[in-house]
Structure 1
Amino acid sequence: MKTLSIAPEQLLTILLGKPVALEIDYTGLLLLAAEKNKHINLPSEMAGGIVYIDNRQITFVSLVHPFKVSTHFDIFKTDDSLIHREPYNWFGPQSLVIEKKLKDFSMTYDGPLNKGGNIPRGFIPDNIAEPVILSDKYWQDYTTFVNDPDHSFAEKIKPMFKQQ
């Protein structure tokens, strides 16, 4: 897939579903990546999402699982086998719905707890637990691309589902 490195602020704005102007004459699907940077708490050299561009209009298509992408100044090719689309946009409202389902389930659960005081995985329905596990994995991998010299960003990313 063709890839374009952009400023991390632009990438995050797109992932949040807000409009961004990219001065690029291109039509088609495009993988967007955060360019190499040293800005604190922002990703660097990370693939982020797929968009469709037509007539400089950008339509967000899919979040991708973070992976390393070297910065280039023009559009370049990325091996398609590296691109894994996320089933949900963890930056969007879908993630809030997933969190709420787990919270609602936890508040009504009255079964056994494990040694850590958590609901054992086997008692959480798959339709609730599996999206949460995917979200936790996404954010764990995302933090590895964030410029975080004092680890304060990573410390704020707490898993919603604790497997024990």
Structure 2
Amino acid sequence: MKVLTVRPDILVDYMYGQKDLNEKTGLMREYRRWQPKDDEGNPYRGEILLRSNSRQIPTLPSRMAGVIVNIEKTIKTSKQVVWHVRFVCLVHPFKLDEGKLTGFSEVDDSLIHREVFNWCDEKKLVKEIDGPMEKIANAYIKKHPAAKITPLSEFPKEMLVLAEKEDAYFSDFLKFIYKPTVDIVQMMSPRLVEHTLVSE
């Protein structure tokens, strides 16, 4: 897959789907001085992997592959080329050294593992995973006042599978963050531990 290197803060903006977002079209914008081209030199349209460069900025990830976006169109102005891209999915964080300043780098597709859920969509995460898990845990403790833990058997299997994937994602994401704050470490701590769940 083709790879584009961006600043750590820009990568995070893309991961959260907020990089100069046009809310009507759902498209984000990237600004470059060059047109995206395929291997034959033709205008490139399609998916690319974004990774952060080697700059070390506190609380942000360095040299991390983080998200796939799709280039849908480009518009050339007198000063720059505006790429209109759409969020596709997060990828499981992995290290990629800094690539070209102009043009695309390449990465073996086998290294890319697409995430099944947008873990950076906090509202969706709370609505579909964290919120329901907390509700079940609270209900169990209310029923069993003497209990200090909620057995994993109380939770739907599919919910646990997603919770484990969420834990794995944020655990690896945290490894790339330069000087994370205590709040960030806490936020990215395993959800299964946070809910004090254990196997029976």
Q: Say whether the fold is shared (TM-score over 0.5).
A: yes
User: 1:158, CA displacement in angstroms?
Assistant: 2.4
* Superposition deviation, residue 125 in structure 1: 1.4
| Cα distance in 1 between the residues matched to 2:70 and 2:126 | 25
Question: How far apart are the structure 2 equivalents of 1:149 and 1:121?
Answer: 30
Q: How many residues align?
A: 162
Alignment-derived partner of residue 56 in structure 2: 38
Instruction: Name whichever of 15-24 and 128-137 sits farther off.
Output: 15-24
Structure 1 contact 2–78 (Cα < 8 Å) conserved: yes
Q: Which amino acid aligns with 1:16?
A: Y
User: Which segments of 5 or more consecutive residues in structure 1 lack a partner in the other structure?
Assistant: none
Match for residue 125 of structure 1 among 115, 132, 156: 156
Structure 1 residues 112 and 29: CA distance shift in structure 2, 3 A: farther
Shift of 1:156: 4.3
Inter-partner Cα distance in structure 2 for 1:105 and 1:59:
35
Task: Label 1:80 to 1:112 Cα distance change in 2 as closer, same or farther (>3 A).
Answer: farther
Match of 1:140 among 154, 161, 171: 171
Match of 1:63 among 66, 86, 90: 90
Using the TM superposition, give the Cα deviation of residue 133 of structure 1 relative to its aligned residue in structure 2, in angstroms.
1.2
Unaligned runs of 5+ in 2: 22-27, 37-44, 74-82
Task: Measure how far apart 1:113 and its partner are.
Answer: 8.4
Secondary structure of the corresponding residue to residue 21 of structure 1: strand
Match of 2:29 in 1: 21
SS in 1 for 2:92: coil
For the residue of structure 2 that corresponds to 1:84, the secondary structure is: coil
Q: TM-score scaled by structure 1? A: 0.88
Deviating beyond 4 angstroms after TM superposition, the runs of 4 or more aligned structure 1 residues are 111-114, 149-152
Whether 1:77 and 2:120 are equivalent positions in the alignment is no
Contact 1:52/1:58 (CA < 8 Å) preserved in 2?
Answer: yes
Alignment match, 1:99: 130
TM-score of the superposed pair, with normalisation by structure 2: 0.73
Amino acid at match of 1:142: F
* Contact 1:88 1:94 (C-alpha < 8 Å) held by counterparts: no
Larger radius of gyration: 2
